Amino acid sequence: MVIVERIHNQRIVEVRPLLSPAQVSAALPISTAQLEVVNAGRNEVAAILNGDDDRLLVIVGPCSVHDPAAALEYANLLSGVAERLRRELCVVMRVYFEKPRTTLGWKGLINDPGLDGTYRVNDGLVIARRLLLDVLSLGLPIGCEFLDPVSPQYIADAVSWGAIGARTSQSQIHRQLASGLSMPIGFKNSTEGDVQGAVDAVGAAASPQVFPGITDDGTAAIFETSGNPDCHVVLRGGASGPNYDHESVSHTLALLNRSNHIPRVVIDASHDNSGKDHLRQPYVAADVASRIAQGDRAIVGLMFESFLVAGRQNLVPGDAAGLVFGQSITDACIGWEDTVRILDRLAVAVTVRRGAEAA
Protein backbone atom coordinates (compact mmCIF):
# COMPACT_ATOMS: atom_id res chain seq x y z
CA MET A 1 0.00 0.00 0.00
CA VAL A 2 2.84 2.37 0.80
CA ILE A 3 4.37 1.68 -2.61
CA VAL A 4 1.04 2.38 -4.35
CA GLU A 5 0.66 5.68 -2.51
CA ARG A 6 4.08 6.74 -3.76
CA ILE A 7 3.13 6.36 -7.44
CA HIS A 8 -0.65 6.96 -7.54
CA ASN A 9 -2.27 10.40 -8.10
CA GLN A 10 1.00 12.24 -7.51
CA ARG A 11 -0.28 15.37 -9.25
CA ILE A 12 -3.88 15.30 -8.02
CA VAL A 13 -4.46 18.10 -5.53
CA GLU A 14 -8.06 17.28 -4.61
CA VAL A 15 -10.78 14.75 -5.46
CA ARG A 16 -14.42 15.85 -5.01
CA PRO A 17 -17.60 13.80 -5.43
CA LEU A 18 -19.49 14.41 -8.69
CA LEU A 19 -23.27 14.41 -8.75
CA SER A 20 -24.65 11.66 -10.95
CA PRO A 21 -26.69 12.51 -14.06
CA ALA A 22 -29.70 10.89 -12.39
CA GLN A 23 -29.39 13.17 -9.36
CA VAL A 24 -29.26 16.31 -11.51
CA SER A 25 -32.14 15.14 -13.71
CA ALA A 26 -34.24 14.24 -10.67
CA ALA A 27 -33.73 17.73 -9.26
CA LEU A 28 -34.51 19.31 -12.65
CA PRO A 29 -36.78 16.92 -14.58
CA ILE A 30 -37.66 17.68 -18.17
CA SER A 31 -41.40 18.09 -18.74
CA THR A 32 -43.49 16.49 -21.46
CA ALA A 33 -43.89 19.86 -23.19
CA GLN A 34 -40.14 20.46 -23.11
CA LEU A 35 -39.46 16.98 -24.47
CA GLU A 36 -41.80 17.73 -27.35
CA VAL A 37 -39.72 20.82 -28.22
CA VAL A 38 -36.53 18.73 -28.14
CA ASN A 39 -37.98 15.94 -30.25
CA ALA A 40 -39.59 18.30 -32.77
CA GLY A 41 -36.30 20.18 -33.08
CA ARG A 42 -34.33 16.99 -33.71
CA ASN A 43 -36.82 15.78 -36.32
CA GLU A 44 -36.92 19.14 -38.10
CA VAL A 45 -33.13 19.46 -38.19
CA ALA A 46 -32.80 15.91 -39.54
CA ALA A 47 -35.45 16.60 -42.18
CA ILE A 48 -33.56 19.71 -43.35
CA LEU A 49 -30.27 17.80 -43.45
CA ASN A 50 -31.86 15.04 -45.51
CA GLY A 51 -33.58 17.39 -47.96
CA ASP A 52 -37.10 16.59 -46.79
CA ASP A 53 -37.66 20.13 -45.47
CA ASP A 54 -36.67 23.10 -47.65
CA ARG A 55 -36.20 25.50 -44.78
CA LEU A 56 -32.75 26.69 -43.68
CA LEU A 57 -31.29 25.57 -40.37
CA VAL A 58 -29.92 28.54 -38.39
CA ILE A 59 -27.93 28.01 -35.18
CA VAL A 60 -27.51 31.35 -33.44
CA GLY A 61 -26.62 32.60 -30.00
CA PRO A 62 -23.73 33.66 -27.76
CA CYS A 63 -20.25 32.29 -28.28
CA SER A 64 -20.62 30.80 -24.81
CA VAL A 65 -23.04 31.39 -21.95
CA HIS A 66 -21.57 33.07 -18.87
CA ASP A 67 -24.72 34.73 -17.49
CA PRO A 68 -27.91 32.63 -17.51
CA ALA A 69 -30.10 35.72 -16.98
CA ALA A 70 -28.69 37.42 -20.09
CA ALA A 71 -28.95 34.19 -22.09
CA LEU A 72 -32.60 33.81 -21.11
CA GLU A 73 -33.39 37.41 -22.07
CA TYR A 74 -31.77 36.72 -25.44
CA ALA A 75 -33.84 33.52 -25.75
CA ASN A 76 -37.04 35.48 -25.12
CA LEU A 77 -36.22 37.81 -27.99
CA LEU A 78 -35.09 35.01 -30.29
CA SER A 79 -38.21 32.92 -29.69
CA GLY A 80 -40.38 35.70 -31.08
CA VAL A 81 -38.32 36.05 -34.26
CA ALA A 82 -38.08 32.28 -34.66
CA GLU A 83 -41.86 31.98 -34.53
CA ARG A 84 -42.32 34.82 -37.04
CA LEU A 85 -39.92 33.19 -39.52
CA ARG A 86 -40.74 29.56 -38.82
CA ARG A 87 -42.03 28.90 -42.37
CA GLU A 88 -38.61 29.75 -43.81
CA LEU A 89 -36.13 29.03 -40.99
CA CYS A 90 -35.61 26.42 -38.31
CA VAL A 91 -33.94 28.50 -35.62
CA VAL A 92 -31.91 26.65 -32.98
CA MET A 93 -30.46 28.66 -30.10
CA ARG A 94 -26.77 28.20 -29.53
CA VAL A 95 -26.34 27.51 -25.79
CA TYR A 96 -22.69 26.55 -25.29
CA PHE A 97 -21.42 25.75 -21.79
CA GLU A 98 -17.91 24.45 -22.47
CA LYS A 99 -15.17 26.56 -23.99
CA PRO A 100 -12.23 24.76 -25.64
CA ARG A 101 -8.90 26.39 -24.89
CA THR A 102 -5.71 26.36 -26.95
CA THR A 103 -3.77 27.39 -23.83
CA LEU A 104 -5.54 28.79 -20.75
CA GLY A 105 -8.66 30.84 -19.96
CA TRP A 106 -12.20 30.56 -18.65
CA LYS A 107 -13.41 27.04 -19.50
CA GLY A 108 -17.15 27.69 -19.49
CA LEU A 109 -20.20 27.82 -17.25
CA ILE A 110 -20.22 24.11 -16.35
CA ASN A 111 -16.58 24.13 -15.26
CA ASP A 112 -16.49 27.54 -13.58
CA PRO A 113 -19.97 28.99 -12.99
CA GLY A 114 -18.64 31.59 -10.54
CA LEU A 115 -16.28 33.04 -13.19
CA ASP A 116 -13.67 33.12 -10.45
CA GLY A 117 -11.56 29.98 -10.79
CA THR A 118 -13.38 28.07 -8.03
CA TYR A 119 -14.52 25.33 -10.45
CA ARG A 120 -17.80 24.46 -8.75
CA VAL A 121 -18.63 21.85 -11.39
CA ASN A 122 -21.63 20.37 -9.56
CA ASP A 123 -23.18 23.85 -9.39
CA GLY A 124 -22.34 24.42 -13.05
CA LEU A 125 -24.14 21.26 -14.15
CA VAL A 126 -27.27 22.28 -12.24
CA ILE A 127 -27.18 25.88 -13.54
CA ALA A 128 -26.66 24.68 -17.12
CA ARG A 129 -29.53 22.21 -17.02
CA ARG A 130 -31.89 24.76 -15.46
CA LEU A 131 -31.13 27.24 -18.25
CA LEU A 132 -31.74 24.61 -20.94
CA LEU A 133 -35.13 23.81 -19.49
CA ASP A 134 -36.00 27.52 -19.31
CA VAL A 135 -35.08 27.98 -22.98
CA LEU A 136 -37.12 24.93 -23.98
CA SER A 137 -40.11 26.40 -22.15
CA LEU A 138 -40.00 29.25 -24.68
CA GLY A 139 -40.37 26.74 -27.52
CA LEU A 140 -36.79 27.09 -28.77
CA PRO A 141 -34.77 24.00 -29.70
CA ILE A 142 -31.19 24.09 -28.41
CA GLY A 143 -27.74 23.51 -29.86
CA CYS A 144 -24.68 22.69 -27.73
CA GLU A 145 -21.05 21.84 -28.33
CA PHE A 146 -20.02 18.59 -26.66
CA LEU A 147 -16.47 18.94 -25.40
CA ASP A 148 -16.20 16.78 -22.27
CA PRO A 149 -17.30 13.18 -22.93
CA VAL A 150 -19.04 12.93 -19.53
CA SER A 151 -21.14 16.12 -19.45
CA PRO A 152 -23.60 15.07 -22.22
CA GLN A 153 -25.15 12.60 -19.78
CA TYR A 154 -26.36 15.61 -17.78
CA ILE A 155 -27.80 17.76 -20.57
CA ALA A 156 -28.15 15.83 -23.85
CA ASP A 157 -31.83 15.02 -23.31
CA ALA A 158 -32.51 18.76 -23.69
CA VAL A 159 -30.46 19.25 -26.90
CA SER A 160 -31.74 19.10 -30.51
CA TRP A 161 -28.45 19.73 -32.37
CA GLY A 162 -24.87 19.16 -31.28
CA ALA A 163 -21.44 20.24 -32.44
CA ILE A 164 -18.02 18.66 -32.19
CA GLY A 165 -15.53 21.50 -32.40
CA ALA A 166 -12.53 22.16 -34.62
CA ARG A 167 -10.07 20.96 -31.97
CA THR A 168 -11.90 17.68 -31.30
CA SER A 169 -13.37 16.55 -34.63
CA GLN A 170 -10.37 14.29 -35.18
CA SER A 171 -10.59 12.84 -31.67
CA GLN A 172 -11.62 9.19 -31.58
CA ILE A 173 -13.36 9.77 -28.25
CA HIS A 174 -15.60 12.48 -29.70
CA ARG A 175 -16.39 10.50 -32.85
CA GLN A 176 -17.45 7.58 -30.64
CA LEU A 177 -19.52 9.92 -28.48
CA ALA A 178 -21.26 11.39 -31.53
CA SER A 179 -22.15 7.91 -32.78
CA GLY A 180 -24.28 7.38 -29.69
CA LEU A 181 -25.84 10.81 -29.26
CA SER A 182 -29.55 11.08 -30.04
CA MET A 183 -29.47 14.26 -32.11
CA PRO A 184 -27.85 15.44 -35.38
CA ILE A 185 -24.18 16.33 -34.92
CA GLY A 186 -22.06 18.78 -36.91
CA PHE A 187 -18.30 18.20 -37.15
CA LYS A 188 -16.23 21.31 -37.74
CA ASN A 189 -13.18 21.35 -39.96
CA SER A 190 -9.85 21.75 -38.16
CA THR A 191 -8.38 25.08 -37.03
CA GLU A 192 -5.82 24.70 -39.84
CA GLY A 193 -8.67 24.46 -42.36
CA ASP A 194 -8.48 20.72 -43.10
CA VAL A 195 -11.90 19.41 -44.14
CA GLN A 196 -11.02 15.76 -44.72
CA GLY A 197 -10.83 15.15 -40.96
CA ALA A 198 -14.42 16.34 -40.54
CA VAL A 199 -15.54 14.16 -43.46
CA ASP A 200 -13.82 11.17 -41.86
CA ALA A 201 -15.54 12.00 -38.57
CA VAL A 202 -18.96 11.90 -40.24
CA GLY A 203 -18.21 8.37 -41.42
CA ALA A 204 -16.84 7.20 -38.08
CA ALA A 205 -19.82 8.59 -36.16
CA ALA A 206 -22.28 6.99 -38.58
CA SER A 207 -20.79 3.58 -37.78
CA PRO A 208 -21.40 1.40 -34.70
CA GLN A 209 -18.92 2.10 -31.90
CA VAL A 210 -18.03 0.62 -28.50
CA PHE A 211 -16.53 2.79 -25.76
CA PRO A 212 -16.47 3.30 -21.97
CA GLY A 213 -18.63 5.93 -20.27
CA ILE A 214 -20.89 6.51 -17.28
CA THR A 215 -24.53 5.58 -16.86
CA ASP A 216 -27.25 7.85 -15.47
CA ASP A 217 -26.51 6.65 -11.96
CA GLY A 218 -22.80 7.39 -12.40
CA THR A 219 -21.63 3.81 -12.85
CA ALA A 220 -18.80 3.08 -15.26
CA ALA A 221 -20.08 1.05 -18.21
CA ILE A 222 -19.37 -0.03 -21.79
CA PHE A 223 -21.61 1.63 -24.39
CA GLU A 224 -22.33 0.03 -27.75
CA THR A 225 -23.92 2.28 -30.38
CA SER A 226 -25.78 1.77 -33.64
CA GLY A 227 -24.21 4.86 -35.27
CA ASN A 228 -25.57 8.33 -35.97
CA PRO A 229 -26.83 8.88 -39.56
CA ASP A 230 -27.47 12.61 -39.08
CA CYS A 231 -23.88 13.82 -38.85
CA HIS A 232 -22.58 16.51 -41.20
CA VAL A 233 -19.68 18.89 -41.87
CA VAL A 234 -19.56 22.46 -40.56
CA LEU A 235 -17.24 24.77 -42.50
CA ARG A 236 -15.72 27.38 -40.16
CA GLY A 237 -12.60 28.44 -42.08
CA GLY A 238 -9.09 27.94 -40.77
CA ALA A 239 -5.55 29.24 -40.72
CA SER A 240 -5.54 28.71 -44.49
CA GLY A 241 -8.41 31.20 -44.85
CA PRO A 242 -12.22 31.23 -45.20
CA ASN A 243 -14.01 28.25 -46.73
CA TYR A 244 -17.59 29.45 -47.18
CA ASP A 245 -17.02 30.40 -50.85
CA HIS A 246 -18.45 28.40 -53.74
CA GLU A 247 -15.17 26.63 -54.58
CA SER A 248 -14.55 25.55 -50.98
CA VAL A 249 -18.09 24.27 -50.58
CA SER A 250 -17.84 22.38 -53.88
CA HIS A 251 -14.58 20.80 -52.72
CA THR A 252 -16.23 19.67 -49.48
CA LEU A 253 -19.20 18.23 -51.36
CA ALA A 254 -16.82 16.29 -53.59
CA LEU A 255 -15.06 14.84 -50.53
CA LEU A 256 -18.41 13.83 -49.06
CA ASN A 257 -19.54 12.22 -52.32
CA ARG A 258 -16.26 10.35 -52.58
CA SER A 259 -16.86 8.90 -49.12
CA ASN A 260 -20.49 8.04 -49.94
CA HIS A 261 -21.88 10.61 -47.50
CA ILE A 262 -24.85 12.88 -48.18
CA PRO A 263 -23.48 16.10 -49.81
CA ARG A 264 -24.63 18.72 -47.30
CA VAL A 265 -22.83 21.39 -45.29
CA VAL A 266 -23.51 23.98 -42.63
CA ILE A 267 -21.60 27.26 -42.85
CA ASP A 268 -20.23 28.89 -39.69
CA ALA A 269 -20.14 32.63 -40.38
CA SER A 270 -17.86 33.30 -37.40
CA HIS A 271 -14.35 32.11 -36.53
CA ASP A 272 -11.96 32.09 -39.50
CA ASN A 273 -14.77 32.52 -42.03
CA SER A 274 -15.13 36.07 -40.72
CA GLY A 275 -11.43 36.53 -40.01
CA LYS A 276 -12.39 36.43 -36.31
CA ASP A 277 -14.00 39.85 -36.82
CA HIS A 278 -17.63 39.78 -35.65
CA LEU A 279 -18.45 42.75 -37.88
CA ARG A 280 -17.81 40.56 -40.93
CA GLN A 281 -20.35 37.91 -39.97
CA PRO A 282 -23.22 39.77 -41.70
CA TYR A 283 -21.18 39.84 -44.94
CA VAL A 284 -20.63 36.08 -44.79
CA ALA A 285 -24.34 35.56 -44.08
CA ALA A 286 -25.28 37.83 -47.00
CA ASP A 287 -23.06 35.85 -49.36
CA VAL A 288 -24.62 32.58 -48.23
CA ALA A 289 -28.13 34.07 -48.49
CA SER A 290 -27.41 35.15 -52.07
CA ARG A 291 -26.41 31.61 -53.07
CA ILE A 292 -29.46 30.12 -51.37
CA ALA A 293 -31.69 32.56 -53.25
CA GLN A 294 -30.01 31.38 -56.46
CA GLY A 295 -31.08 27.81 -55.70
CA ASP A 296 -28.23 26.30 -53.65
CA ARG A 297 -29.60 23.29 -51.73
CA ALA A 298 -26.28 21.81 -50.52
CA ILE A 299 -25.88 24.56 -47.92
CA VAL A 300 -28.47 23.36 -45.43
CA GLY A 301 -27.63 25.67 -42.56
CA LEU A 302 -25.83 28.71 -41.23
CA MET A 303 -24.52 29.43 -37.76
CA PHE A 304 -23.29 32.69 -36.28
CA GLU A 305 -22.41 34.20 -32.92
CA SER A 306 -24.81 36.77 -31.56
CA PHE A 307 -25.74 38.30 -28.20
CA LEU A 308 -27.68 41.23 -26.79
CA VAL A 309 -24.71 43.63 -27.01
CA ALA A 310 -22.15 43.58 -29.83
CA GLY A 311 -18.46 42.90 -29.23
CA ARG A 312 -16.75 41.28 -26.28
CA GLN A 313 -15.36 42.23 -22.89
CA ASN A 314 -12.54 40.98 -20.72
CA LEU A 315 -13.36 38.95 -17.65
CA VAL A 316 -11.62 39.98 -14.47
CA PRO A 317 -11.76 36.88 -12.24
CA GLY A 318 -13.95 37.55 -9.20
CA ASP A 319 -15.49 40.71 -10.71
CA ALA A 320 -18.53 39.30 -12.52
CA ALA A 321 -20.65 42.16 -11.18
CA GLY A 322 -18.67 44.61 -13.29
CA LEU A 323 -19.51 42.93 -16.59
CA VAL A 324 -21.72 44.53 -19.25
CA PHE A 325 -25.05 42.66 -19.30
CA GLY A 326 -25.50 40.62 -22.46
CA GLN A 327 -22.00 41.02 -23.91
CA SER A 328 -19.71 38.06 -24.57
CA ILE A 329 -16.64 37.33 -22.45
CA THR A 330 -15.22 34.94 -25.07
CA ASP A 331 -15.44 35.54 -28.84
CA ALA A 332 -16.95 38.82 -30.01
CA CYS A 333 -20.57 38.56 -31.17
CA ILE A 334 -22.82 40.73 -33.29
CA GLY A 335 -25.59 42.58 -31.46
CA TRP A 336 -29.32 41.93 -31.45
CA GLU A 337 -30.30 44.38 -34.21
CA ASP A 338 -27.84 42.84 -36.67
CA THR A 339 -29.06 39.40 -35.65
CA VAL A 340 -32.62 40.19 -36.69
CA ARG A 341 -31.41 41.66 -39.98
CA ILE A 342 -29.46 38.48 -40.80
CA LEU A 343 -32.41 36.23 -39.94
CA ASP A 344 -34.77 38.29 -42.06
CA ARG A 345 -32.35 38.22 -44.98
CA LEU A 346 -31.98 34.44 -44.77
CA ALA A 347 -35.76 34.03 -44.66
CA VAL A 348 -36.13 36.14 -47.81
CA ALA A 349 -33.51 33.98 -49.54
CA VAL A 350 -35.47 30.82 -48.78
CA THR A 351 -38.66 32.46 -50.08
CA VAL A 352 -36.94 33.49 -53.32
CA ARG A 353 -35.53 29.99 -53.82
CA ARG A 354 -38.99 28.50 -53.33
CA GLY A 355 -40.46 30.87 -55.86
CA ALA A 356 -37.82 30.01 -58.43
CA GLU A 357 -38.30 26.28 -57.88
CA ALA A 358 -42.07 26.62 -58.22
CA ALA A 359 -41.86 28.63 -61.42
Alpha-carbon distance of 288 to 5, in angstroms, equals: 59
Task: Give per-residue burial for 244-283: e unless 16+ CB within 10 Å, then b.
Answer: bbeebbeebbebbeeeebbbbbbbbbbbbbbeeebebbbe
Q: In the CATH hierarchy, which fold is given to the domain comprising 19-358?
A: TIM Barrel (3.20.20)
Q: Rounded to an integer, what distance in angstroms lies between the CA atom of residue 189 and that of residue 259?
A: 16
Predicted model pTM: 0.96
What is the enclosing helix (H) or strand (E) of 178? helix 172-180
CA distance 90 to 282: 19
- Interacting residues of 218 by C-beta distance below 8 A, sequence separation 6+: 18, 20, 21, 22
Neighbouring CB atoms inside 10 A of 198's CB total 27
One-letter identity of residue 311 = G
What are the average pLDDT values for consecutive 10-residue runs of the chain, which has 359 residues? 69 92 98 98 98 98 97 98 98 92 79 92 98 98 95 97 96 97 98 97 98 95 98 97 98 98 97 97 98 97 98 86 94 98 98 94
**Whole-number pLDDT of residue 73:** 98
pLDDT at residue 8, rounded to an integer = 83
Residue 227 one-letter amino acid = G
Is residue 312 classed as helix, strand or coil in its secondary structure? Answer: strand
Please count the other Cβ atoms lying within 10 Å of the Cβ belonging to residue 193.
18
Tell me the three state secondary structure of residue 144: strand
